[in-house]
Amino acid sequence: MSREGICAVDGCGKPIHSRRLCRNHYHRFWRNGDPLVVKRPAPVRKAGEGTFNNGYHFTTVTVNGRQRQIGTHRLVMEKYLGRKLYPNENVHHKNGDRSHNHIENLELWVKTQPSGQRPEDLIAWAEEIIARYGHLKCVKRA
């Protein structure tokens, strides 16, 4: 990609970094969706609704008498599955909006076994995956 030229923001004059923007305006665009917005405004929420961190909504829960913060998207998925998430499972927001925690917007993602495994280990791992997730309804993607 050519980096010749100046930033597309009026009056900037700095050299292009990416997407026809200088480094500062590109990072503002990447963080906030607008190269002119220095900081995204904090989400509006009612008292007691939890906190936001890096776009994710967190809820305070009590575990063994101690309070801790857990991602609301993880709680929603655990309730939907009827169990705790395994360490190799993640919850993905389909539309990319980390504050949109409705089950329709969430997908369960599983980190796979590392490469370079013996075939018998892979077969055992595949059987474990089928036993764990075989009951879930599969949707064919276009």
The tens digit of pLDDT for each residue in 85-136 reads 988 888 988 888 888 889 999 998 887 666 667 778 778 888 888 888 887 7
H-run or E-run covering 92:
strand 89-93
pLDDT at 48 over 60: no
The tens digit of pLDDT for each residue in 49-89 reads 566 666 678 887 777 888 888 888 999 999 999 999 988 88
Name the burial class of residue 54, with classes exposed (0-12), middle (13-18) and buried (19+) by CB atoms within 10 angstroms of its CB. exposed
| CA–CA distance, 16 with 80 (Å, rounded to integer) | 46
Q: Which residues are 113's β-sheet partners?
A: none
Contact 74, 91 (CB under 8 A): yes
Q: How confident is the model at residue 47 (pLDDT cuts 50, 70, 90)?
A: very low
